[in-house]
Amino acid sequence: MKIGIDARKIADTGIGRYIDSLIRALLAQETNHQYVLFLAPEHMESYSFAGGRVENVATSAGKYSLREHWALGAMARQAGVDLFHEPHFTLPLYTPCKKVVTIHDVIHLLDPKVGAMQKAYARWMISSALKRADQVITVSNHTKENLVSIFGADPSRITVTYNAADSGFGPMGGDDIDRELKKLNITRGYFLFVGSDRPHKNIQAVARVMAIMRPDTRFVIVGRMAPRARELFAPYEGRVVFVNNAGRKTIAALYAGARALFFPSYMEGFGLPPLEAMACGTPTVVSNRSSIPEVVGEAAALVDPDDASEAAAILQRLQDDKRFHTELAAKGMARAATFSWKQTARTTLEVYERALS
């Protein structure tokens, strides 16, 4: 089987992590399948996968562009692929082979702060993808239920394949943690937020929590933050460090060095940061909404993302109660170990075979 994968978003956060990890896990499977990866020109060298089963093809078709709808299909035909996997809801309209699409979430439809044009585009593309794809993948049962309830999608054609924490996320020695944190002028004992300033990520919850907690509370905030988001933390100057564009090794050290991860998101298709933190042995305090409870199970402290007092009390307890901290960390590590990209790849290959049959 020759499988084409749209890998143009491989450097993005979230979906990019899914694409990169899935490709590596697929290539680790003992099969004779060949893979054609459609990459942006700037990613051709930085994302080169070893082995003779991979062909990288450069495409300048932009993400969310009109051109992607005919260019990728033409390139797939030219490459002779048997199956095309679109790892986002933007399944090209003209794809002359069997098709699999991964739909991670429907946040564009549910978030009231998403603009009308973006919402209309997402609804049209998701609906089109569900109708034209031979098989559909989602990363949580929560998203699958949304697709069935909102679009009337056939649940028998939707397969859930969970994400997982990469092998680079795990317990680290204290010296290794301190060595990485020193590069950022950070010392251990902080709480961590990993996300962005997009409204559904709820960065405001961190500022509300800081207003309640003791004045020695420190936070490290990882992700893209516009000046307006940073202004929320003006009253806490010297107690908040912003980190952007950190490498995977640095992010792993930030997880491992944190007192706890605070993840107050309103909506997630999966929610990878809590699982990564758990894998590093870091307790997690997470939102009780969307797919997040499905992912963390009973291994995290669930809170109402709008209840700052509840979240602050649990974070403070994790700072003061060593036994509670140790117990929650152990539960998290055990939970993270139940997810693997190897299993995700195996299930994805089964989806490919169903699509071809």
Average pLDDT over residues 9-19: 91
Q: How far apart are CA 99 and CA 207, in angstroms?
A: 44
Average pLDDT over residues 192-216: 96
Supply the mean pLDDT for the chain: 95
pLDDT more than 90, % of the chain: 89
pLDDT interval class at 352 (50, 70, 90): very high
Average pLDDT over residues 336-352: 97
The answer as to CATH 3.40.50.2000 being correct for domain 2-164+340-356 is: yes
39 closest CA partner among 12, 7, 68, 16: 7
Helix 248-257 to helix 174-183 angle (10° resolution) is: 120
Q: Amino acid identity, residue 91?
A: L
Average pLDDT over residues 293-318: 98
> For position 65, what pLDDT does the model report?
86
Average pLDDT over residues 319-329: 97
Q: Is 269 helix (H, G, I), strand (E, B) or coil?
A: coil
Q: How far apart are CA 333 and CA 350, in angstroms?
A: 28
Q: Is 285 helix (H, G, I), strand (E, B) or coil?
A: strand
> For position 253, what pLDDT does the model report?
97
Question: What separation in angstroms does the CA of 340 have from each of 74, 80, 161, 163, 279?
Answer: 34, 31, 10, 7, 11
Q: Where do runs of H (alpha helix) occur along 272-321?
A: 272-279, 292-296, 308-320
> For position 66, what pLDDT does the model report?
85
Beta strand segments in 150-275, E: 158-160, 191-194, 219-222, 240-243, 260-263
Beta strand segments in the chain, E: 2-6, 34-39, 54-58, 83-86, 98-102, 135-138, 158-160, 191-194, 219-222, 240-243, 260-263, 284-287, 301-303
Query: Higher-confidence residue: 111 or 190?
Result: 190
> For position 13, what pLDDT does the model report?
81
Which residues in the chain are classed under CATH 3.40.50.2000? Answer: 2-164+340-356, 174-336
Average pLDDT over residues 36-50: 88
> For position 48, what pLDDT does the model report?
79
Structure tokens at 325: 């901290």
Whole-model pTM? 0.93
User: What class is the 174-336 domain?
Assistant: alpha beta
